[in-house]
Structure 1
Amino acid sequence: MNTPVIERMMRVNRKTEMDYLGLYKSVKFLTALNRIQNKTWMFPSNMELHIHHKTSQDLVAVQHHTIQHKIK
């Protein structure tokens, strides 16, 4: 059965989602993003990181460098 990425994203643990939202809202966000980009902050392989930053033009999804969305 094919599972659309959106549906998979909606199944992310709500507490985890809120934790990431809190992370985004904190002053630690840029530091965390920098660590992600420098591959020094690893997340569990089964965890999808979706930190959304609303800009004046669009909504950008910042994802961990190892995450790949595969429809199986």
Structure 2
Amino acid sequence: MHEAIGARAREGLRHDRVKGRPVAVTGGHDNTVRMWDPTTGQQTGPRLVFPEPVVALATGGRLVVGFGLEVAALSPLT
């Protein structure tokens, strides 16, 4: 899904707002999580790399990532 928002259904996609602006958060089998500006389709910020494929995402102010058999709760989205 990282190539284009909505490209592959087997990877995760969540949406949220950061500083009042919409963001899309994707995670996939390439072991990465990325944030996107859905209005431009451009990636914002660095990609986050995990040791196993990303299998679940949750947002709500804080990014929670499921990878392999583990879960990481990351700093609030800013």
TM-score (norm 2): 0.23
Greater fraction strand? 2
Greater fraction helix? 1
Q: Which has the higher contact order (CA 8 A, sep 6+)?
A: 1
